């Protein structure tokens, strides 16, 4: 049993993958297990993510958990001293400062669990995710199933013509594709230009 003077060691866990791979579902599962163990948790998501709810983290399967939407990740540093676990959804939408914030929280003895897209719609590393994965004690890459061939999917193929980096959407805007099907789709789009 832990004594009052024992401070647990913090850590950083990253859950990454493509759209529809179950990242948020896994984040919610881990956070609910921490709640069941009577650990004090705080959950954050970027204010830009309003797809299902303003005040909840919601998976595509509509499982949810209450959260605090924030614009500046440094606000996470104001968590109460008794918080043991911090969950972060859609971590790719925070700037590079999320890496420093996660480090500081972990150094305080907090378990930090961050979920986010590891690559953008062009197949490039997405924002701070490579940095978060580099400093994490544990990284779990989850996969969707390719809607074209049924193989493991690791790409979020955008169906809209928008060239903006951040376009929020669901199955109407993105589809999960494997490497082969993604490369074929991108080649077809390039030839159509």
Active site residues: 90
Whole-angstrom Cα distance, residue 154 to residue 145? 8
Would you say 48 and 167 are in contact if contact means Cβ atoms under 8 Å apart? no
Phi-psi map region of 29: left, alpha, beta (phi>0 left; psi -120 to 50 alpha): alpha
Strands 152-153, 155-158: parallel, antiparallel or unpaired by DSSP? unpaired
Whole-angstrom Cα distance, residue 86 to residue 165? 27
Q: Which helix (H) or strand (E) holds 42?
A: strand 41-46
């Amino acid at each position: 049993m832990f004594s009052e003077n024992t401070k647990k060691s913090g850590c950083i866990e990253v859950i990454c993958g493509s759209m529809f791979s179950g990242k948020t579902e896994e984040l919610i599962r881990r956070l609910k297990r921490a709640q069941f163990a009577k650990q004090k948790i705080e959950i954050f998501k970027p204010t830009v993510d309003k797809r299902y709810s303003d005040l909840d983290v919601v998976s595509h399967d509509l499982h949810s958990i209450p959260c605090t939407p924030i614009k500046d990740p440094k606000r996470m540093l104001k968590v109460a001293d008794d918080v043991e676990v911090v969950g972060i959804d859609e971590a790719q939408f925070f700037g590079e400062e999320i890496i420093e914030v996660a480090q500081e929280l972990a150094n305080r003895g907090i378990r930090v669990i961050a979920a986010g897209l590891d690559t953008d719609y062009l197949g490039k590393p997405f924002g701070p995710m490579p940095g978060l994965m580099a400093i994490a004690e544990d990284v779990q890459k989850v996969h969707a199933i390719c809607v074209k061939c049924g193989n493991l999917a690791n790409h979020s193929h955008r169906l809209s013509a928008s060239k903006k980096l951040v376009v929020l959407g669901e199955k109407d805007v993105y589809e999960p594709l494997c490497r082969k099907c993604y490369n074929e789709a991108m080649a077809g789009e390039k030839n159509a230009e």
